[in-house]
Amino acid sequence: MTGKRAILPTEITPAGERVGVADLFYSFQGEGVNLGRRALFVRLMRCNLTCGYSRMPRRPNTPAVGAMVCDTEYTWNTAKHDLEAAPTMSAAEIWDALVRLDPATGDPSLAPVGLVVVSGGEPLLHRGTVTALARRATALGKALEIETNATINPGTELIAAGARFNAGLKLASSAVPYSKRVKPQVIRQLQASGQARWKFVVTSPDDVREIADLQQQFGLTDVWLSPEGTSVRVVADRMRWLADVALTRGWNLTTRQHVLIWGDERGR
Protein backbone atom coordinates (compact mmCIF):
# COMPACT_ATOMS: atom_id res chain seq x y z
CA MET A 1 0.00 0.00 0.00
CA THR A 2 1.30 3.45 -0.81
CA GLY A 3 0.44 6.84 0.60
CA LYS A 4 0.17 10.15 -1.21
CA ARG A 5 3.29 11.74 0.23
CA ALA A 6 6.88 10.50 0.10
CA ILE A 7 8.53 13.33 2.03
CA LEU A 8 9.36 13.69 5.68
CA PRO A 9 7.36 16.16 7.77
CA THR A 10 9.17 19.29 8.86
CA GLU A 11 6.37 21.36 10.38
CA ILE A 12 5.03 21.00 13.91
CA THR A 13 1.27 20.55 14.23
CA PRO A 14 -0.28 23.69 15.81
CA ALA A 15 -1.96 23.45 19.19
CA GLY A 16 -5.62 22.52 18.91
CA GLU A 17 -5.23 20.61 15.65
CA ARG A 18 -6.44 17.07 15.16
CA VAL A 19 -3.58 14.60 14.84
CA GLY A 20 -3.27 11.13 13.38
CA VAL A 21 -3.40 8.36 15.97
CA ALA A 22 -1.92 4.96 15.18
CA ASP A 23 -2.68 3.13 18.43
CA LEU A 24 -4.38 3.58 21.79
CA PHE A 25 -3.89 0.77 24.28
CA TYR A 26 -3.42 -0.32 27.90
CA SER A 27 -0.36 -2.38 28.78
CA PHE A 28 2.89 -2.35 30.73
CA GLN A 29 5.68 0.11 30.04
CA GLY A 30 8.13 -2.33 28.47
CA GLU A 31 11.34 -0.32 28.75
CA GLY A 32 13.27 2.08 30.92
CA VAL A 33 12.87 3.38 34.44
CA ASN A 34 9.16 2.49 34.55
CA LEU A 35 9.64 -1.05 33.25
CA GLY A 36 6.70 -3.23 34.28
CA ARG A 37 4.50 -0.34 35.37
CA ARG A 38 0.92 -0.29 34.03
CA ALA A 39 0.45 2.47 31.48
CA LEU A 40 -1.99 4.01 29.03
CA PHE A 41 -0.38 4.41 25.60
CA VAL A 42 -1.06 6.70 22.68
CA ARG A 43 1.03 6.27 19.53
CA LEU A 44 0.90 9.26 17.17
CA MET A 45 1.48 9.25 13.43
CA ARG A 46 4.33 10.84 11.45
CA CYS A 47 8.08 10.92 12.03
CA ASN A 48 10.94 13.12 10.88
CA LEU A 49 13.46 10.25 10.71
CA THR A 50 13.63 7.05 8.65
CA CYS A 51 15.35 4.51 10.91
CA GLY A 52 16.72 1.64 8.85
CA TYR A 53 16.94 3.80 5.74
CA SER A 54 19.07 6.80 4.76
CA ARG A 55 15.99 8.53 3.35
CA MET A 56 12.29 7.94 2.85
CA PRO A 57 11.80 4.72 0.85
CA ARG A 58 10.16 5.18 -2.54
CA ARG A 59 9.00 1.58 -3.07
CA PRO A 60 7.33 -0.95 -0.74
CA ASN A 61 10.16 -3.44 -1.29
CA THR A 62 13.00 -0.99 -0.59
CA PRO A 63 15.46 -2.98 1.56
CA ALA A 64 16.61 -1.58 4.89
CA VAL A 65 20.30 -0.70 5.02
CA GLY A 66 20.69 -0.09 8.75
CA ALA A 67 20.93 -2.69 11.50
CA MET A 68 18.50 -0.72 13.66
CA VAL A 69 15.22 -0.78 11.74
CA CYS A 70 12.13 1.07 12.97
CA ASP A 71 9.50 -1.31 14.40
CA THR A 72 6.65 1.17 13.81
CA GLU A 73 7.07 1.97 10.13
CA TYR A 74 3.28 2.08 9.82
CA THR A 75 3.42 5.53 11.43
CA TRP A 76 5.60 7.13 8.72
CA ASN A 77 6.64 4.92 5.78
CA THR A 78 4.42 6.13 2.94
CA ALA A 79 5.87 3.56 0.54
CA LYS A 80 4.39 0.70 2.58
CA HIS A 81 1.46 2.21 4.43
CA ASP A 82 -1.48 4.54 3.85
CA LEU A 83 -0.97 7.12 6.59
CA GLU A 84 -4.26 8.81 5.73
CA ALA A 85 -6.14 5.73 6.98
CA ALA A 86 -5.30 6.53 10.61
CA PRO A 87 -8.07 8.31 12.53
CA THR A 88 -7.50 11.91 13.60
CA MET A 89 -8.28 13.08 17.14
CA SER A 90 -8.01 16.20 19.25
CA ALA A 91 -6.10 16.22 22.53
CA ALA A 92 -9.40 16.12 24.44
CA GLU A 93 -10.61 13.11 22.42
CA ILE A 94 -7.32 11.30 22.99
CA TRP A 95 -7.56 11.91 26.73
CA ASP A 96 -11.16 10.70 26.86
CA ALA A 97 -10.14 7.54 25.00
CA LEU A 98 -7.31 6.91 27.48
CA VAL A 99 -9.72 7.35 30.39
CA ARG A 100 -12.00 4.72 28.86
CA LEU A 101 -9.04 2.34 28.52
CA ASP A 102 -8.23 2.61 32.24
CA PRO A 103 -9.80 -0.45 33.94
CA ALA A 104 -10.46 1.70 37.02
CA THR A 105 -13.00 3.70 35.02
CA GLY A 106 -15.28 0.69 34.87
CA ASP A 107 -14.24 -0.85 38.20
CA PRO A 108 -13.56 1.73 40.94
CA SER A 109 -12.16 -1.03 43.16
CA LEU A 110 -9.04 -1.05 40.96
CA ALA A 111 -6.22 1.44 41.34
CA PRO A 112 -6.22 4.00 38.50
CA VAL A 113 -3.39 3.76 35.98
CA GLY A 114 -0.85 6.40 36.97
CA LEU A 115 1.33 6.54 33.85
CA VAL A 116 0.63 7.84 30.34
CA VAL A 117 3.13 7.13 27.55
CA VAL A 118 3.08 9.16 24.33
CA SER A 119 4.95 7.47 21.51
CA GLY A 120 5.19 7.50 17.73
CA GLY A 121 6.44 8.15 15.16
CA GLU A 122 7.84 11.31 16.67
CA PRO A 123 5.40 12.81 19.21
CA LEU A 124 7.07 16.22 19.30
CA LEU A 125 5.87 16.87 15.75
CA HIS A 126 2.56 17.33 17.60
CA ARG A 127 3.92 19.45 20.44
CA GLY A 128 0.67 21.34 21.08
CA THR A 129 -1.30 18.12 21.47
CA VAL A 130 1.35 16.52 23.64
CA THR A 131 1.57 19.62 25.86
CA ALA A 132 -2.19 19.53 26.39
CA LEU A 133 -1.99 15.86 27.37
CA ALA A 134 0.90 16.55 29.75
CA ARG A 135 -1.00 19.35 31.46
CA ARG A 136 -4.05 17.14 31.92
CA ALA A 137 -1.96 14.28 33.29
CA THR A 138 -0.10 16.50 35.76
CA ALA A 139 -3.32 18.12 36.95
CA LEU A 140 -4.70 14.67 37.76
CA GLY A 141 -1.54 13.44 39.48
CA LYS A 142 -0.43 11.13 36.66
CA ALA A 143 3.05 10.87 35.18
CA LEU A 144 3.50 11.37 31.44
CA GLU A 145 6.45 10.06 29.43
CA ILE A 146 7.28 11.05 25.88
CA GLU A 147 9.22 8.66 23.65
CA THR A 148 11.20 11.06 21.46
CA ASN A 149 14.15 10.84 19.09
CA ALA A 150 15.52 14.08 20.60
CA THR A 151 15.71 16.00 17.32
CA ILE A 152 12.83 18.44 17.95
CA ASN A 153 12.94 21.14 20.61
CA PRO A 154 10.39 20.25 23.32
CA GLY A 155 9.79 23.89 24.22
CA THR A 156 9.53 25.50 27.63
CA GLU A 157 5.76 24.94 27.94
CA LEU A 158 6.03 21.18 27.60
CA ILE A 159 8.92 21.05 30.05
CA ALA A 160 6.95 23.20 32.50
CA ALA A 161 3.95 20.88 32.11
CA GLY A 162 5.99 18.19 33.88
CA ALA A 163 6.53 15.73 31.04
CA ARG A 164 9.41 13.28 31.26
CA PHE A 165 11.38 12.47 28.13
CA ASN A 166 12.63 9.04 27.15
CA ALA A 167 15.12 10.51 24.69
CA GLY A 168 16.24 7.92 22.18
CA LEU A 169 19.07 9.42 20.16
CA LYS A 170 19.54 7.42 16.97
CA LEU A 171 22.95 5.96 16.21
CA ALA A 172 24.86 5.29 12.99
CA SER A 173 23.31 1.80 12.92
CA SER A 174 19.97 3.46 12.07
CA ALA A 175 21.39 4.58 8.67
CA VAL A 176 19.97 8.07 9.28
CA PRO A 177 22.54 10.76 8.38
CA TYR A 178 24.28 12.30 11.42
CA SER A 179 23.04 15.82 10.67
CA LYS A 180 19.43 14.64 10.83
CA ARG A 181 19.66 12.48 13.95
CA VAL A 182 21.96 14.59 16.18
CA LYS A 183 20.72 18.11 16.99
CA PRO A 184 23.06 19.61 19.61
CA GLN A 185 20.72 22.42 20.69
CA VAL A 186 17.85 20.01 21.30
CA ILE A 187 20.05 17.55 23.16
CA ARG A 188 21.36 20.30 25.43
CA GLN A 189 17.87 21.61 26.20
CA LEU A 190 16.62 18.16 27.12
CA GLN A 191 19.67 17.50 29.29
CA ALA A 192 19.32 20.89 31.01
CA SER A 193 15.64 20.23 31.76
CA GLY A 194 16.54 17.50 34.26
CA GLN A 195 13.54 15.57 32.89
CA ALA A 196 15.27 13.42 30.28
CA ARG A 197 16.56 9.87 30.37
CA TRP A 198 18.77 8.85 27.48
CA LYS A 199 17.72 5.50 26.05
CA PHE A 200 19.87 4.01 23.30
CA VAL A 201 18.82 1.07 21.15
CA VAL A 202 21.89 -1.16 20.78
CA THR A 203 22.66 -3.61 18.00
CA SER A 204 26.45 -4.05 18.27
CA PRO A 205 29.64 -2.95 20.09
CA ASP A 206 29.99 -0.14 17.52
CA ASP A 207 26.83 1.37 19.01
CA VAL A 208 28.39 1.28 22.47
CA ARG A 209 31.40 3.27 21.32
CA GLU A 210 29.15 5.89 19.74
CA ILE A 211 27.04 6.15 22.90
CA ALA A 212 30.18 6.80 24.95
CA ASP A 213 31.22 9.55 22.53
CA LEU A 214 27.78 11.20 22.69
CA GLN A 215 27.75 11.02 26.49
CA GLN A 216 31.12 12.73 26.67
CA GLN A 217 30.24 15.37 24.07
CA PHE A 218 26.93 16.41 25.64
CA GLY A 219 27.38 15.46 29.29
CA LEU A 220 24.49 13.02 29.21
CA THR A 221 23.30 11.62 32.52
CA ASP A 222 20.85 8.79 33.27
CA VAL A 223 21.90 6.64 30.30
CA TRP A 224 19.95 3.47 29.52
CA LEU A 225 20.81 0.70 27.06
CA SER A 226 17.99 -1.15 25.32
CA PRO A 227 18.66 -4.26 23.19
CA GLU A 228 17.36 -3.98 19.64
CA GLY A 229 15.13 -6.89 18.72
CA THR A 230 11.58 -7.98 18.04
CA SER A 231 12.01 -11.60 19.16
CA VAL A 232 12.70 -13.17 22.56
CA ARG A 233 15.92 -14.81 21.32
CA VAL A 234 17.48 -11.63 19.94
CA VAL A 235 16.53 -9.53 22.97
CA ALA A 236 17.85 -12.14 25.40
CA ASP A 237 21.12 -12.63 23.51
CA ARG A 238 21.84 -8.91 23.41
CA MET A 239 20.89 -8.45 27.06
CA ARG A 240 23.58 -10.95 28.07
CA TRP A 241 26.52 -9.03 26.60
CA LEU A 242 25.02 -5.61 27.31
CA ALA A 243 24.84 -6.39 31.03
CA ASP A 244 28.63 -6.26 31.46
CA VAL A 245 28.84 -3.16 29.25
CA ALA A 246 26.31 -1.29 31.36
CA LEU A 247 27.87 -2.27 34.68
CA THR A 248 31.36 -1.37 33.50
CA ARG A 249 30.41 2.04 32.12
CA GLY A 250 27.99 3.05 34.86
CA TRP A 251 24.93 2.88 32.63
CA ASN A 252 21.50 1.36 33.19
CA LEU A 253 20.07 -1.60 31.31
CA THR A 254 16.49 -2.21 30.28
CA THR A 255 14.94 -5.17 28.55
CA ARG A 256 11.99 -4.99 26.15
CA GLN A 257 9.36 -6.60 28.35
CA HIS A 258 6.55 -6.34 25.79
CA VAL A 259 8.65 -8.29 23.26
CA LEU A 260 9.48 -10.98 25.83
CA ILE A 261 5.75 -11.43 26.57
CA TRP A 262 4.01 -10.80 23.23
CA GLY A 263 6.72 -10.81 20.57
CA ASP A 264 6.21 -8.27 17.78
CA GLU A 265 2.44 -7.97 18.31
CA ARG A 266 1.12 -4.48 17.62
CA GLY A 267 -0.68 -2.56 20.39
CA ARG A 268 1.15 -4.31 23.24
Tens digit of each residue's pLDDT (9 = 90 or more) over 56-67: 999 999 999 999
Q: Answer for the pair 249, 215: CB distance below 8 angstroms, yes or no.
A: no
Residues in the annotated binding site for substrate: 28-30, 43, 119
Q: Is residue 215 part of a domain?
A: no
Q: What is the pLDDT of residues 92-140, one digit of tens each?
A: 999 999 999 999 999 999 999 999 999 999 999 999 999 999 999 999 9
Q: Is residue 231 part of a domain?
A: no
Residues in the annotated binding site for S-adenosyl-L-methionine: 121
Whole-angstrom Cα Rg for the chain: 18
d(CA 10, CA 53): 18
pTM metric for this prediction: 0.92
Q: Number of structural domains, the chain?
A: 1
DSSP letter for 115, please: E
Q: Is residue 228 part of a domain?
A: no
Residues in the annotated binding site for [4Fe-4S] cluster: 47, 51, 70
Summary mean pLDDT of the chain = 94
CATH of the domain at 196: 3.20.20.70
Residues in the annotated binding site for Mg(2+): 72
Residues in the annotated binding site: 28-30, 43, 47, 51, 70, 72, 119, 121
